[in-house]
Amino acid sequence: MVKRFRSIGIALPAIILVFTASVCAGQNAAPAVSEGAAHVLAVSTLTASARQLSGMRFDRERAPHPKGFYWFEVTANVPGDESPLLGYFAVNKRTGDVWDSAQCRRLTSSAIRHFHEQLLQSGTISAEELHRLGRVAPCQP
Amino acid sequence: MPKLHGRCACIFARSFLAFSLLTCPAICHAGVVCPTPIAITSITPSPWQAGETINVTISGTNISCGGTFLTVQAAQGTMTVSNVVLVSTSEITATVSISADAPTEQACLSLQLGQDGPNQPADGDAEMDEADDAAASSTCTSTYQYGAAMAVQIIGDQNKACSVQPATSFMQDNTADASSLASELGVPTYYVLAMAGDESQYGTSNIAVGAHNYFGLHAGAPGSIGPWPQNPIVAAFPSEDGFMASGQSFVQLASPLLKGLGSPIDPKSFFTAMHKKWGIGTPNYIRKMVQSAKMAQIRMNCP
């Protein structure tokens, strides 16, 4: 599946809608995090300049990976001959935690923290589960 | 020959996560001030493996003078230094025991000679932040008046690092090609392997598998065979030798970024240069890639 965001100007206003939709969906069935929300959360970990790039797209990884995560690679239109590859990500379908899957490091952002608060407030997940599941690495460093 | 006071062997903390300084008690008697600069020319064996006890020989010049004392520095808490023997003015031997859980890092082994205790660090040295600390560790520059230093690579927890797949196989399978590319750039092989590993998800990404592009190269990159149809912003390379073909393209693009860096190029300088073209989306790119390079160095040498 490929999704495009022409600019962060479109993506950012969508965050609230995506959060709300995904949290509500999570009350009835797993995963609590929609694929669209996973993309937004991953983008939130990029540099500010990268978030401004146009033509951002999210390609699901075809290689086999552990379940329970969305795995995708992010590219965008970049100036000149810079690398269009912005990163490889694994996003936890239950908690929204974002991992740099190349280095196997958990990433943080204010958007992820806000998303966690929403998950807790909606009762989608307990604080204990969020803490425990959020630290389950999808990979080995 | 000056007598080396055994209690003068003490340990400094200099890790990537924290910087602290534990000074050696000034227990050695005063002596003459060393008149000439000292230097370390080699430390053998190197690298040091976590969990081992190693008999180390430190060679150098002017590493003693009458009545002075000597200090051996290493990463605090992960190793102990004992049996320090001043063999001659050009050789010291010591026994180093490294704990099994020692991290992978560049320790800084240094010798200090002085009259009244350890020489004081240069201004500002004790206030380094984490990034500067990493840089200092990788270059291991002596900041002491009568001292010399040399970096020693600590290989930590190698078994764990080597068991991680596909990272280890990727590094080992591509070491020969990466070595050729690295020699064109004038950098260690593991710098190139780290770039390729991170840009291709160790060869498993769609871009690596589909476009044979292992270095995250933009469409139009030198030597490419055109845009990758599945994602036209990405360059495609011939399927039969994708690593080397995309690697040659990487070399062409990276070489101009390295001009003026001198030799040897330390990891921080290399990845600072690479950041201009490859780090646009990644916060803390330089620190991240320096760590990737350390892991690549371990994995390319796994048994």
Domain of A65, CATH number, reads 3.10.450
Q: Is the pLDDT of residue B161 over 60?
A: yes
CB contact under 8 Å between B209 and A63, yes or no, is yes
* Strand ranges across the sheet with B48-49: B48-49, B147-155, B105-112
**Residue B262 confidence class, pLDDT cut points 50, 70, 90:** confident
| Domain end among B97, B129, B156 | B156
CATH of the domain at B289: 1.10.530.10
| Pair (B147, B189) in one structural domain | no
| Pair (B170, B135) in one structural domain | no
Q: At what angle do helices B242-254 and B267-278 cross, to 10 degrees?
A: 100
Q: What percent of chain B has pLDDT over 70?
A: 69
Q: What is the DSSP string of chain A?
A: -EEEES-HHHHHHHHHHHHHHHHHHHTTSS-SS-HHHHHHHHHTTS-HHHHT-SSEEEEE--S---SSEEEEEEE---STT---EEEEEEEETTT--EEETTTTEEE--HHHHHHHHHHHHTTSS-HHHHHHHHT--SS--
Give dist(CA B16, CA B120) in Å, integer: 21
Question: Residue A4 has what pLDDT?
Answer: 47
Q: What percent of chain A has pLDDT over 90?
A: 57
Q: What is the torsional sign of CA B27, B30, B31, B33?
A: positive
> What's the domain range around A77?
2-134
Residue B253 lies in a domain: yes
Q: Specify the range with the lowest mean pLDDT, choosing from A14-18, A57-61, B39-43, B267-271.
A: A14-18
- Most confident region among B59-73, B106-120, B244-258 by mean pLDDT: B244-258
Q: What is the DSSP string of B112-156?
A: E--SSSSPPPPTTGGG--HHHHHHHHHH----STTEEEEEEEEE-
**Residue A80 confidence class, pLDDT cut points 50, 70, 90:** confident
Split into its structural domains, chain B has a count of 2
Q: What is the mean pLDDT of residues B88-97?
A: 84
CB contact under 8 Å between A74 and B204, yes or no, is no
Give dist(CA A21, CA A25) in Å, integer: 6
What is the gyration radius of the CA atoms in chain A, in angstroms?
14
| Per-residue pLDDT tens digits for A95-119 | 999 999 988 888 989 999 999 999 9
Question: Residue B152 has what pLDDT?
Answer: 81
Residue A74 lies in a domain: yes
Q: Is the pLDDT of residue B2 over 70?
A: no
Give dist(CA B288, CA B102) in Å, integer: 20
Contact B104, B295 (CB under 8 A): yes
What is the gyration radius of the CA atoms in chain B, in angstroms?
22
Q: Is the pLDDT of residue B137 over 60?
A: no
Question: Residue B162 has what pLDDT?
Answer: 86
| Per-residue pLDDT tens digits for B3-29 | 333 323 232 222 222 222 222 222 233
Of residues B28, B34, B236, the one with CA closest to residue B116? B28
Residue B130 lies in a domain: yes
Residue A32 lies in a domain: yes
> Please, what is the end-to-end C-alpha distance for chain A in angstroms?
27
Give dist(CA A23, CA A123) in Å, integer: 9
| Pair (B115, B83) in one structural domain | yes
In terms of residues, how long is chain A? 141
Q: Tell which wins on pLDDT, B116 or B186.
A: B186
| Domain end among B132, B156, B180 | B156
Non-local (6+) Cβ contacts of A63 within 8 A are A71, B201, B204, B205, B206, B209
Non-local (6+) Cβ contacts of B156 within 8 A are B50, B101, B102, B103, B104, B105
Question: Residue B296 has what pLDDT?
Answer: 93
Q: What percent of chain B has pLDDT over 90?
A: 38
| Pair (B295, B256) in one structural domain | yes
Q: The complex's ipTM?
A: 0.80
| Per-residue pLDDT tens digits for A23-47 | 433 334 467 899 999 999 999 999 9
Residue B1 lies in a domain: no
Chain B nearest C-alpha distance from A61 (Å): 6
| Pair (B86, B225) in one structural domain | no
**Residue B134 confidence class, pLDDT cut points 50, 70, 90:** very low
Residue B59 lies in a domain: yes
Q: What is the mean pLDDT of residues A68-89?
A: 94
Q: Tell which wins on pLDDT, A124 or B145.
A: A124
Query: What is the token pair recorded at B226?
Result: 């055109």
Pick the residue of B280, B286, B292 with the most A CBs within 10 A to test the interface with A by mutation.
B280
Which residue in the set A47, A73, A75 is minimally distant from B282, CB to CB?
A47
Which residues in chain B have Cβ-Cβ distances shorter than 8 Å to A98? none
Give dist(CA B219, CA B228) in Å, integer: 8
Give dist(CA B37, CA B34) in Å, integer: 8
**Residue B80 confidence class, pLDDT cut points 50, 70, 90:** confident
**Residue B82 confidence class, pLDDT cut points 50, 70, 90:** confident
Chain B nearest C-alpha distance from A39 (Å): 14
Question: Residue A50 has what pLDDT?
Answer: 93
**Residue B270 confidence class, pLDDT cut points 50, 70, 90:** very high
| Pair (B31, B167) in one structural domain | no
Residue A141 lies in a domain: no
SS3 B105: strand
A112 lies within 8 A of chain B by CB: no
CATH of the domain at B24: 2.60.40.10
> What's the domain range around B275?
159-300
CB contact under 8 Å between B282 and A87, yes or no, is yes
Residue A39 lies in a domain: yes
Residue B28 lies in a domain: yes
| Per-residue pLDDT tens digits for A3-27 | 444 444 444 444 444 444 444 333 3
| pLDDT, mean over chain B | 75
| Pair (B10, B149) in one structural domain | yes
For strands B91-98 and B79-88, give the pairing.
antiparallel
Pick the residue of A46, A60, A85 with the most B CBs within 10 A to test the interface with B by mutation.
A85
CB contact under 8 Å between B218 and A45, yes or no, is no
| Domain end among B107, B124, B156 | B156
CB contact under 8 Å between A83 and B205, yes or no, is no
Residue A60 lies in a domain: yes
Question: Residue B19 has what pLDDT?
Answer: 23
| Pair (B225, B111) in one structural domain | no
Q: Is the pLDDT of residue B71 over 70?
A: no
B201 lies within 8 A of chain A by CB: yes
Residue B70 lies in a domain: yes
Question: Residue A105 has what pLDDT?
Answer: 84
Question: Residue B113 has what pLDDT?
Answer: 67
CA angle B295, B300, B301 (to 5 degrees): 100
Residue A87 lies in a domain: yes
Q: Tell which wins on pLDDT, A36 or B44.
A: A36
Split into its structural domains, chain A has a count of 1
| pLDDT, mean over chain A | 82
Distance of CA A1 to the CA centre of its chain: 15
| Backbone φ and ψ of B87, nearest 5° | -75, -45
